[in-house]
Structure 1
Amino acid sequence: MTNAISRGRGLIATMVVIVVCSGVVQGYLTPLLPVVGDHVGIGGVGQNNLYLLSQVAFAVLTPLLSRWGDMWGHRRLLLIAVIMVAVGSVLIATRPTTATLSVGMVLQSAVVGFFPLLAGILRSRSPEHGRIGMSVLVGALLLSIGTGGFVAGTLSDEHALAGLWTAVPFCGPAVAAAIALPPSTAPRAGRFNVPAALLLALGLSALMLALTKGASWGWASPSSLLTIAAAIVVLITWVRVEQRSSHPLIDLGMLSNPRLAVVSAHTFCIAFGAIGFLGANAVYLGTDPDGNGLGLGLGAQDISLVSLSMVVAGFLGSTMTPRLARAIGDRAVLAVGGCAGAAGFLSLCLFHSSVPQYSVGALVIGLSTGMFEAATRSLSVEVVDEADTALSVGVNEMALSLGAAIGAAVIGALWSSHTTAQGHITGAGYQWAWGACAAVALAGAAVSLLFRLPSGESRPEAGITHAGRTA
């Protein structure tokens, strides 16, 4: 069986099983939190704290799992991560309490390691299928996120806690797929830098805490300012420790790679709106329309259908990206994706008073999401040596997470400053938020123009990632 899935379509199909589990886990729980919170006695503040806890876990586990994979083997760490997700999913479903939800969501956050670790295996075992494989995996991820949320919402319509079982059936096949995958052949080296890991975890935790709680604390409040200052001090200390270490957790020289820097900056800018806007999207769709036509007043199932249509557009964007890169080049693909995201948000600024009007902009944003996720994940694999593949993809995942978190924080701040006495968001609040997302997406398109192929290197064929390509 291992020989049958060691390369090509069999390898990619096995990886899809793991990615589908990741997507369902990422998509099913968020729409259930209000219903589950009421059932187990977790109020709005508690639900927000659960979200905060998961975001901190995402930020901390991304570099750790990526680095451990490059050091100790991508398949070994992938299996550990999948088992963590499976245990967390079963724990949440079987005994939902505040404590088990907290522990379960932290364990489920190990999904952040799936893509970097899968990229390491794919590059070493089947480099000629790198680009098409990555686009298929991104498409499967997007579809399963939307489908997971829709299925969970439908199950919970029948029974409040039934939706908590949505992810469990996908965990067993994912564990089996992780066992069946071949190990990567990338060289392993280095020792784990514990002080650097602790400093990075503390710094990222403080930063994510400030971003997720800043709107409720007040951005100019002592709590926000002190938390941001602490994050900066700890992260600066981490940089100095890494620079002096013979075995750094993250080779900071990698961050000076101009191609990886451009790809990660582009990822940050597009994720700012495309991912950071998802919560705002649900709020607008679910808000009862006012006298100015703001809000669409949709129910939970209709909201999930709009979200599902966006991920279908994302799937199309992802699957067409390799061919588009062959036709017009990587730099143009990044620029087109950024411009598409900006066009989608500008469409929302102008046309948002009905579901068909709103859906036009939302679908374009979904298309842009699929394009940037497929393109940047493929490029982050190719711009470094094979031994650093998982860590490079992990750096790009960090850029995505930070971009989404900062985007959501900026949208929240803009909404907070444009509300009525009754707490409703005004038209200006929505317009400023959509406009900010459009502006940052355009900045991402502009950054992509700095991307260059090394001199003498030709444009890769669609579906091909060249083994051993270096920056």
Structure 2
Amino acid sequence: MIVVMSLIEALSGVTQGYLNPILPALGPVLDIDAPTISGIFLISMVSFAVLTPIISRLGDRFGYRLVLRISTVVVVAGVLLMALVPTLLTISIGVVMLTCVVGFMPMMMGILRVTSPSDTRRGVSAMIGTLMIMLGLGGLLAGVAGANDPLKGFWIGVPFALLALVMTFFLPDAGVPNRTPVAVLPMICCSLGLVGLLTALSMGPDWGWLDAKTLLVGMLGLALLACWTRIDSRAEKQFINLRLLAIPRVRQISVSTFLFAFSASYFGINGIFLHSDPAVTGYGFGLSPLAMSAILALASVLSLASALVTTRAMARFGESKTLMLAGLVLAAGFATMALGHQSMTGYCIGFALVCAGIGTVQAATRALSVEGVPLEETASAAGLNELALSVGIAVGAALSKMLASTFASGGYISMTGIMSIWAVMAASAVAAALLSRSYTSVTNSQLASEVKA
């Protein structure tokens, strides 16, 4: 079952990885400009955040395998749409359809926890390892296939999509769906609130942080999110059970996930640094997109390895120490890049540490996010953690863009700006590590008393 789930999760990794080298190369092919390409990335990021709580909640209500299969069908349709009819419109629609992969992990965690709870951690580690390695491999394969024609890169996702759909028929129909209707009003408030907040964070550096559009969209998003939390905390029919955050472990893991995800948002700046011409900017190595994809693919091997050993590490050293160590490794990676950025070897060592730390924190936080909740809330708790992950990445990316524009010089990010970004990312990782010091594992008796309370 874990092997089947890993094969399904491979589609999630490929679809998230293969867009990075393809979309920037579409300009001359489809006659679209850079702002439009950035807009497609924005659509993808917002869709990830919006669909995460929706799909997760549907899983608890209508069945994990059913919602997983429907999500997979939507992703398959999106992959085929972009491969067969690659236009600006179909690619924009396809990108949204691809973000249904956010439902894969919560649904499969729900199936694991119901059918084989003792294997949940091991299963999550395997799925995260597969996700991380396929993120790198998907980008590399797309870069190779689309070296001459970037549109050919879209075909990389087709075999993985079809394989994932077939694999959904080999999973058990686990869980007892409650079939309750969806709470429409809080769902709309949450979804539109996330759209407003993430749009403001993403476009703030381009529009201007004090521009009327940024302030209006951001404040409207925050207002809608406030309405959502107020409605969901009082209504009997809820979109997301926010009372889960009253459980200390869930709240602590959610905050840790946000801080770790903040650090993981560095990958966009990584591409800029590696591609920059040192003769012009004073830093970087002038690498081609294909060479950068190769580096990312190699580094993802460390993410795979660290994810796979996470379960053993938590069993041997404890959850708290494992999370702390992962945070410190992540911070050490940024520090190493800062100290050795003039050398390709030094930089790659630092980036490797970052990837290793990310593999561990992704596996650990996802597994721990569901251990302190009732069984029937598994997908919702996992979705809440995925939401913290998406928002953390968005906030980190927005702050990186703000620092990049603040310390821009001659149309390029100055070395001071790059150093500032590394410092902020390292500080976020250290904060997550310190927060993890007080984490304690949950026993069945404790869970029962907390649920009753």
On whether the aligned pair clears a TM of 0.5, the verdict is: yes
Structure 2 unaligned residues grouped into runs of 5+: none
Shift in alpha-carbon separation, 1:470–1:387, aligned structure 2, 3 A: farther
Distance in 1, matches of 2:221 and 2:175, equals 37
Q: Which amino acid aligns with 2:435?
A: V
Partner residue of 1:144? 134
Distance in 1, matches of 2:60 and 2:443, equals 28
1:350 matched to 2:350? The reply is no
Partner residue of 2:400? 411
Partner residue of 2:241? 251
Distance in 2, matches of 1:326 and 1:129, equals 13
Q: Which amino acid aligns with 1:216?
A: D
Report 1:86-101 matches (<5 A).
86-101=76-91
Distance in 2, matches of 1:190 and 1:146, equals 39
Residue 226 of structure 2, aligned match among 217, 233, 236: 236
Question: Per-residue CA shift, 1:80-112, capped at 9, x if unaligned?
Answer: 000000000000011111110111111111011
1:270 alignment partner, SS class: helix
Partner residue of 2:390? 401
Give the C-alpha shift of residue 389 in structure 1.
0.5
Q: CA RMSD in A?
A: 1.7
Partner residue of 2:20? 30
Partner residue of 1:463? none
| Contact 1:293/1:353 (<8 A) preserved | no
1:295 alignment partner, SS class: coil
Distance in 2, matches of 1:455 and 1:79, equals 32
Q: Which amino acid aligns with 1:380?
A: S
Distance in 1, matches of 2:450 and 2:15, equals 34
1:283 matched to 2:272? The reply is yes
Distance in 2, matches of 1:39 and 1:311, equals 30
Distance in 2, matches of 1:102 and 1:78, equals 23
Q: Which amino acid aligns with 2:404?
A: W
| Larger helix percent | 2
Report 1:190-209 matches (<5 A).
190-209=180-199
Residue 259 of structure 2, aligned match among 250, 269, 278: 269
1:15 matched to 2:9? The reply is no
1:382 alignment partner, SS class: coil
Distance in 2, matches of 1:210 and 1:291, equals 31
| Contact 1:384/1:469 (<8 A) preserved | no
Distance in 1, matches of 2:449 and 2:317, equals 20
1:326 matched to 2:329? The reply is no
1:248 alignment partner, SS class: coil
Give the C-alpha shift of residue 38 in structure 1.
2.0
Distance in 1, matches of 2:256 and 2:397, equals 17
Partner residue of 2:204? 214
| Contact 2:140/2:294 (<8 A) preserved | yes
Give the C-alpha shift of residue 177 in structure 1.
0.8
Give the C-alpha shift of residue 299 in structure 1.
1.0
After superposing the two structures, state which structure 1 stretch, 54-63 or 183-192, moved more. 183-192
Distance in 2, matches of 1:426 and 1:357, equals 20
Partner residue of 2:58? 68
Structure 1 unaligned residues grouped into runs of 5+: 1-10, 459-466
Distance in 1, matches of 2:443 and 2:172, equals 34
After superposing the two structures, state which structure 1 stretch, 177-186 or 96-105, moved more. 177-186
Distance in 1, matches of 2:444 and 2:159, equals 49
Partner residue of 1:6? none
After superposing the two structures, state which structure 1 stretch, 287-296 or 430-439, moved more. 287-296
| Contact 1:28/1:152 (<8 A) preserved | yes
1:296 alignment partner, SS class: coil
Q: Which amino acid aligns with 2:309?
A: M
Give the C-alpha shift of residue 296 in structure 1.
1.1
Residue 449 of structure 1, aligned match among 422, 437, 443: 437
Shift in alpha-carbon separation, 1:150–1:456, aligned structure 2, 3 A: closer
| Contact 1:385/1:469 (<8 A) preserved | no
1:426 matched to 2:414? The reply is yes
Q: How many residues align?
A: 451
| Contact 1:23/1:142 (<8 A) preserved | yes
Q: Which amino acid aligns with 1:182?
A: P
| Contact 2:15/2:138 (<8 A) preserved | yes
Give the C-alpha shift of residue 48 in structure 1.
0.8
1:361 matched to 2:340? The reply is no
Q: Which amino acid aligns with 1:444?
A: A
Distance in 1, matches of 2:190 and 2:153, equals 35
Distance in 1, matches of 2:192 and 2:275, equals 36
Partner residue of 1:50? 40
Give the C-alpha shift of residue 56 in structure 1.
1.5
1:226 matched to 2:213? The reply is no
| Contact 2:79/2:98 (<8 A) preserved | yes
Shift in alpha-carbon separation, 1:12–1:468, aligned structure 2, 3 A: farther
Give the C-alpha shift of residue 361 in structure 1.
0.6
| Contact 1:82/1:111 (<8 A) preserved | yes
Give the C-alpha shift of residue 309 in structure 1.
2.0
Question: Per-residue CA shift, 1:333-357, capped at 9, x if unaligned?
Answer: 1111111111111111111112111
Residue 162 of structure 2, aligned match among 150, 172, 186: 172
Shift in alpha-carbon separation, 1:223–1:137, aligned structure 2, 3 A: same
1:372 matched to 2:332? The reply is no
Give the fraction of aligned pairs with identical amino acids, expressed as a percent: 36
Distance in 2, matches of 1:455 and 1:65, equals 28
Residue 306 of structure 1, aligned match among 286, 289, 295: 295
Distance in 2, matches of 1:215 and 1:310, equals 30
Give the C-alpha shift of residue 293 in structure 1.
4.4
Shift in alpha-carbon separation, 1:469–1:89, aligned structure 2, 3 A: farther
Give the C-alpha shift of residue 332 in structure 1.
0.7
Residue 380 of structure 2, aligned match among 391, 398, 422: 391
Shift in alpha-carbon separation, 1:235–1:96, aligned structure 2, 3 A: same
Distance in 1, matches of 2:27 and 2:245, equals 41
1:166 alignment partner, SS class: helix
1:188 alignment partner, SS class: coil
| Contact 1:262/1:447 (<8 A) preserved | yes
Distance in 2, matches of 1:413 and 1:293, equals 20
Residue 172 of structure 2, aligned match among 179, 182, 192: 182
List structure 1 runs of 4+ shifted beyond 4 angstroms. 454-458, 467-471
Give the C-alpha shift of residue 158 in structure 1.
3.5
| Contact 1:124/1:186 (<8 A) preserved | no
TM-score (norm 2): 0.96
